[in-house]
Structure formats: structure tokens, C-alpha cells
């Protein structure tokens, strides 16, 4: 591949003039510029990204880490963020971290190598390990979850929708519909976001004076199949709940699939509420009652915070909280 020296030689000018002609910055006569551009074209010239970066310290790329590409929840976030980055001439590169902290650390390391100028980090499980890496990276990173270290020396931004409150809304909705046996299908509560969701359900149940026991709590992994499996398990037990709060739409869909297959009527026999309000919620049958999680807004806000750090040089911490909201569809109704 050609470089500016070869072009310079070909047109009989110096490399710096070529560079000026190409970049449009600095003085350069019209003639020279034209000669250079023509030659560049002919020689099929492309600047080398690495060389530019080494000088500029700017890649104009953002690394966007998502734990799970199968989950439509993230699509909105990606779109929202992308819209902002684009405006500033930045590219978004998605990194699929597979729900795996090692992958997250690898990508933070890649960011430290300055492969990108900043990062949006989505994770189900912010913990001391990855937060430490974030803090020590010295690079701009925005989380899409709430996280505050006990030591209070965090220096990253975050944008979040209050998941705890979201699950409360879902639970309260079922309670208001007169349900009294309400189960919860969530994730592993060792993970931060799963714990929050679980608490949202538990606290709301407690507040309403509902009895709960362990057998009302089902553990999935946010996939449709795990929702299905939870339904299977539930139906082997006595005292089947009449209302189900699912920690995301996908599990709710899996749950409903089981019900459809086994002639359990939704919402006649059981009311189901999902969370995330993904496109699917409106498109399956029956339509799934769900919680709006403002994915696009999260993405847009996260991207904006990142650009502030990168372009405006903001160095103090900023956090943004967004409100979840209930959407009622056909999958839930009065008991």
C-alpha cells in the first residue's frame, strides 16, 4: 500500500506538502493540492490509522461492550448511542463480552491500549473487579448501570434506569389487579442487577403484606429457554401462582410458550408481566405487559456523557437516572 512518501516522490513535492494537501490543513497551493489528490487517487492511497493515532492520540472510535447479543434489550441502547456518536464523526464498535468478566477486562485493556477513545460498558455484574479496572484505566468509560463504590473514589459516569423501581411497578400492578400468589422469575442474585430486581419484587410484596416463600422465586438466565424451564418447574408444584413477574421480556416469552403448549391460558389462568418492553412484547400473542426501560435514552445519554469527557475534557463525575414506566397489554388482568 502506498504512503505519503511515495506520493511525494511521484508528484515531486515533499511529504509534508503532501500531508497538508491531503488533510486540507496548513498552506498548500491549489496546483499542488490537485496534483497530490490525483496521485493519491491513482495510487489508491489510504492513510494508515495506526500512524495517525500514534501522532494524534485520537482514534475517533468508541468501544461499546454488551454482555449478550441475543437480547433485544440492548438494540435500543446501541441505536441511541450510535446516533450521538455519529454526529461527532465517531464510530461505534460493538464488543460482545458474553456475560463474562474476563472478556470485559480484556476490552478495558484494549481501551487502555488506546484502541478506542472511550467506552460504554454494559454489564450484568458490576463488582469490585471490573470497577477497579474501570477506575484504573484512566480512560473515559460510562456504565449503563448504577454503581457506587464504598470508597467513594469512583471517577466514571453512569446512566441508569431504576430497575428496582421497575420491578416494583410490575409487582404492584399485579397486586392491584387482585393477585395474591405472585411469583418472581429472575436471574442469579449474585449478579448486581439480578439482586436489584429481586429486591424490587420482595420489597413490594413485603410492603403489601404478602406472604412470600422461597418457592415463589425462580432463577433463570434471561433467555427464553430459561423462562420455559421455570414454568416447567413451577407446574410440578402445588399452589400455582396467578401472577408472574419476570425480570425480562425474554423469560416472560419462554414462560408464555410453556403455557401455550400446556393449555394454560394467559391471562385467564395466569397473568404475566415482563420487563424491558422490547419490540417483541408488542408482537407476541397475547401482548406482553412490560416495563419501559428507556433503552434509547440510556444510549443517548451515555454517549453524550462520553463525548463530554472526550471532546470537552470534562473530568468530574456525572450520573443520570431515568424513570421506568409500566405498559399494560393483554398478558395481565384482574384476577
CB 162 to its own copies: min, Å: 25
In this structure, what is the dihedral angle of CA atoms 127, 133, 134, 135, given to the nearest 10 degrees? 100
H/E stretch holding 244:
strand 243-246
44 binds DNA (CB under 7 A): no
CB 88 to its own copies: min, Å: 15
Q: Among residues 19 and 219, whose Cβ is nearest to DNA?
A: 19
Q: Among residues 166 and 299, whose Cβ is nearest to its own copies?
A: 299
CB 50 to its own copies: min, Å: 4
Record the cell numbers describing residue 114, joined without a space: 488506546
Instruction: Answer yes or no: are the C-beta atoms of 154 and 126 closer than 8 Å.
Output: no
Strand partners for 217: 184
Q: Among residues 108 and 182, whose Cβ is nearest to its own copies?
A: 108
Crossing angle of the two packed helices 4-11 and 15-23, in degrees rounded to 10: 110
How many residues interact with DNA (rule CB under 7 A)? Answer: 29
Distances (CA, A) of 314 to 54, 60, 140, 310: 23, 17, 10, 8
Judged by the rule CB under 8 A, the positions of this chain that interact with its own copies are 1, 44, 46-51, 53-54, 59, 61, 63, 69-70, 72, 75, 78-79, 82, 91-96, 106, 109-110, 112-115, 136, 138, 224, 228, 253-254, 256-257, 260-261, 279-280, 282-286
| Binding to DNA, residues 52-91 (CB under 7 A) | 52, 54-56
Q: Among residues 44 and 315, whose Cβ is nearest to its own copies?
A: 44
What is the DSSP secondary-structure string of 319-334? EEEE--EEE--TT---
23 binds DNA (CB under 7 A): yes
Q: What is the distance between the alpha carbons of residues 269 and 290, in angstroms, rounded to a whole number?
A: 18
Amino acid at each position: 500500500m502506498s504512503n505519503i512518501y511515495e506520493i511525494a516522490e511521484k508528484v515531486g513535492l515533499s511529504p509534508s506538502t503532501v500531508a497538508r494537501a491531503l488533510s486540507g490543513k496548513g498552506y498548500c497551493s491549489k496546483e499542488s493540492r490537485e496534483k497530490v489528490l490525483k496521485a493519491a487517487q491513482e495510487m489508491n492511497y489510504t492513510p494508515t490509522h495506526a500512524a495517525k493515532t500514534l501522532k494524534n492520540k485520537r482514534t475517533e472510535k468508541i468501544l461499546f461492550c454488551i454482555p449478550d447479543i441475543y437480547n433485544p434489550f440492548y438494540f435500543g441502547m446501541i441505536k441511541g448511542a450510535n446516533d450521538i456518536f455519529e454526529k461527532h464523526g465517531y464510530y461505534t464498535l460493538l464488543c460482545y463480552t458474553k456475560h463474562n468478566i474476563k472478556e470485559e477486562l480484556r476490552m478495558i485493556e484494549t481501551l487502555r491500549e488506546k484502541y478506542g477513545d472511550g467506552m460504554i460498558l454494559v454489564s450484568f455484574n458490576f463488582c469490585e473487579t471490573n470497577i477497579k479496572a474501570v477506575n484504573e484505566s484512566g480512560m473515559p468509560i460510562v456504565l449503563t448501570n448504577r454503581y457506587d463504590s464504598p470508597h467513594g473514589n469512583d471517577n466514571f459516569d453512569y446512566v441508569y434506569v431504576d430497575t428496582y423501581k421497575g420491578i416494583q411497578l410490575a409487582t404492584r400492578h399485579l397486586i392491584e389487579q387482585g393477585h395474591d400468589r405472585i411469583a418472581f422469575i429472575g436471574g442469579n442474585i449474585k449478579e448486581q442487577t439480578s439482586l436489584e430486581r429481586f429486591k424490587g419484587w420482595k420489597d413490594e410484596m413485603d410492603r403489601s403484606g404478602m406472604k412470600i416463600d422461597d418457592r415463589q422465586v425462580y432463577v433463570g438466565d434471561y433467555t427464553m429457554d430459561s423462562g420455559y424451564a421455570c414454568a416447567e418447574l413451577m407446574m410440578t408444584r402445588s399452589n400455582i401462582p396467578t401472577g408472574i413477574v419476570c425480570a425480562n421480556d425474554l423469560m416472560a416469552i419462554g414462560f408464555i410458550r410453556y403455557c401455550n403448549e400446556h393449555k394454560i391460558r394467559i391471562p385467564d389462568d395466569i397473568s404475566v408481566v415482563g420487563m424491558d418492553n422490547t419490540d417483541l412484547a408488542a408482537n407476541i400473542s397475547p401482548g406482553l405487559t412490560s416495563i419501559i426501560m428507556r433503552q434509547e435514552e440510556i444510549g443517548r445519554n451515555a454517549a453524550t456523557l462520553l463525548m463530554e469527557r472526550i471532546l470537552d475534557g470534562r473530568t468530574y463525575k456525572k450520573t443520570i437516572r431515568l424513570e421506568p414506566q409500566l405498559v399494560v397489554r393483554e398478558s395481565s388482568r384482574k384476577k
